[in-house]
Amino acid sequence: MMDDVTAPASAACPAVFIAAPASGQGKTTVTAALARMLRNEGKVVRVFKTGPDYLDPLVLAQASGRPVDQLDLWMAGEAYCRRRLFEAALEADLILVEGAMGLFDGEPSSADLAALFGLPLVIVMDVKGMAQTAAALVAGLAGFRDDIRIAGLIANACGSMRHRELIAAALPKSVPLLAAVPRDASLALPERHLGLVQAEEIREDLEARFEAGAEALAAEGLAEALLALPPVTFATAPLDTAAPPPWLAGRTIAVARDAAFSFIYPANLDLLERMGARLRFFSPLADGGLPPCDALWLPGGYPELHAARLAANAAMRDDIRRAFAADLPILAECGGMLYALDTLTDQNGETHTMLGLLPGHGAMRGRRGCQGMQTAELPEGSVRGHAHHRSVAEGTPAPIAHGRRQRHPAPGEAIYRQRRLTATYLHLFFPDNPAAVARLFAPGPVSARQTNDTHSITTEESHGCD
């Protein structure tokens, strides 16, 4: 982040908010194609993703060639979002912000963020099976609130030139048809049970899809239309977290990062480093042991897809167990928590031995899942984040706390502590409370009230959803 002393008071560049009437309309496919199209033309494009999402940003980062951060008014706060947009405007020819769910869904919604920062909206809609009705839906979105402006429609999965003509003729004059993306399976991005397939797993395939999408949009003259939009001015906003104290100076934090553990906010890594920590990445799948470290972070991911390999890497499991016995601080989030349990049953019904740091058994549970915004009520302080999983943890100890839901009084996800291990289904957004995160990874003993007794009577936790 830029130093407040040297930063100008504001920065401006064209910016567009990519939204949709619902999930599954092709927002990420179109945003990635837009980013690649502009990149191919030599433009600097900065892309942001609204809401708690790990998979889409990795895809968008590959398409744009630049890091992709989250913008979320509840999880990150207005000042954080304002500063990220301001910093992007200092270097970008165009800013793209991809929304989440439908335009008006959630509290706060994509529309709330677009309205707050004066971002013109481009609606992406899957128009398969409709024509004039697509125009009616766009007109309804445009008239639902008077504090947003829809700059145009991108009709996704358009069947023919005649299909395009029918939609264009029916649209209100204030909302032009910017582009029609053909109905072509080779343009769509591959998905699995928690969302898109991770970019690293299908990098070459994604490249072909990005280029095909970019070519389709370039033929519509979309780059010129977007770059010609009036610039949006972003004022700088000082942040308490802009230059946090070096609370973690001299500390080395080992971060698991591979195909099994990849749900990592870039903002979390950035904060740890700005607090003085040295980060050492390692692979629980492939490496023979931990790097030298003072603390350990096991983020979320897909351990259920790699459980056999995780179980087979006995040297790594032994090394992490030694770190646990030596009271190194360990944070295990969602997939990392499943890895910390005694066993994990994968989607094929096969059970594998995991770390055994936290008593209990993890198992996948089909299509049912949990998701929602929650605040982790840690002894070190509260930290906002979210839950998103399709597994269940059973036979675990009594939790030391639960997440606090954004809008519902029922207890959220359980938070466990064994020695210096903190384990939960919640994914934490570190910039929400840097001081609490620093205490979480700092050395030192914890009191009895902050930890589960390893020999406590276990219970089956029911992990609810918003």
Q: Is 173 exposed, middle or buried (0-12, 13-18, 19+ CB in 10 A)?
A: exposed
**Which of 13, 334, 370, 465 is labelled catalytic?**
334
- Which two structure tokens, joined as six digits, stand for 374? 């929650």
Q: Specify whether the CB–CB gap between 219 and 182 falls below 8 A.
A: no
Question: Known catalytic residue: 465?
Answer: no
DSSP 452: B
Best CA proximity match to 157, nearest among 27, 286, 56: 27
- Decide: helix, strand or coil at residue 337: helix
CA 265 to chain centre: 6
In 10 A of CB 121, how many CB atoms?
25
Identity at 374, one-letter amino acid code: Q
* Tokens 């897909």 -> residue: 302
Cis upstream peptide for 108 (omega within 30°): yes
Q: How far apart are CA 429 and CA 410, in angstroms?
A: 21
Give the pairing type, strands 330-333 and 278-282. unpaired
Alpha carbon 367 to chain centroid distance?
20
367 burial level (CB within 10 Å; 0-12, 13-18, 19+): exposed
Classify residue 466 by burial, with Cβ atoms within 10 Å: 0-12, 13-18, 19+. middle
Residues 6 or more apart whose CB falls under 8 angstroms from that of 231 comprise 12, 13, 14, 15
Helix (H, G, I), strand (E, B) or coil at 18: strand
- Positions marked active-site: 334
